[in-house]
């Protein structure tokens, strides 16, 4: 069921991008560790097995960047673009990020 898989992917990207765009500008070591673990655990519990495996491979080559909000959000944008490329989707322009992922919080 490709429709369900796509809907789950959209929900997940939305959450992840919003998380990184609300990540502290100047995170503490503890906050950095929390985001790093959260992303790595996402790749373990993610319910689409093929997607989880791809994310694990990507994380080996592109480990999470957590030094700042900007570093984290641009890192995730670029990771998402790697997935887009593999799925023959257009590359997203990462300079638009902050306008698209308002979380209303």
- Which residues from 3-32 bind ligand FAD, rule CB under 6 A? 5-6, 9-10, 12-13, 17
Q: Does 78 bind a copy of itself (CB under 8 A)?
A: no
Nearest to 80 by CA among 103, 98, 97: 97
Nearest to 55 by CA among 36, 33, 79: 79
CA separation for the pair 97, 93 (Å, rounded): 8
CA separation for the pair 54, 36 (Å, rounded): 17
Stretch of residues binding a copy of itself (CB under 8 A), selected from 13-21, 57-65, 74-82, 83-91: 13-21
Site residues for ligand FAD per CB under 6 A: 5-6, 9-10, 12-13, 17, 50-51, 54-55, 77, 80-81, 83-84, 87, 89, 92, 97
């Amino acid at each position: 069921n490709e429709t369900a898989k796509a809907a789950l992917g959209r929900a997940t990207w939305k959450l992840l991008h919003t998380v990184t765009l609300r990540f502290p500008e100047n995170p503490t070591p503890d906050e950095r560790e929390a985001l790093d673990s959260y992303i790595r655990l996402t790749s373990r519990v993610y319910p689409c097995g093929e997607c989880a495996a791809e994310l694990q491979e990507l994380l080996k080559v592109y480990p999470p960047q957590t030094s700042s909000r900007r570093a984290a959000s641009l890192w995730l944008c670029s990771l998402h673009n790697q997935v887009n490329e593999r799925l023959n989707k257009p590359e997203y322009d990462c300079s638009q990020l902050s306008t698209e992922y308002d979380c209303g919080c």
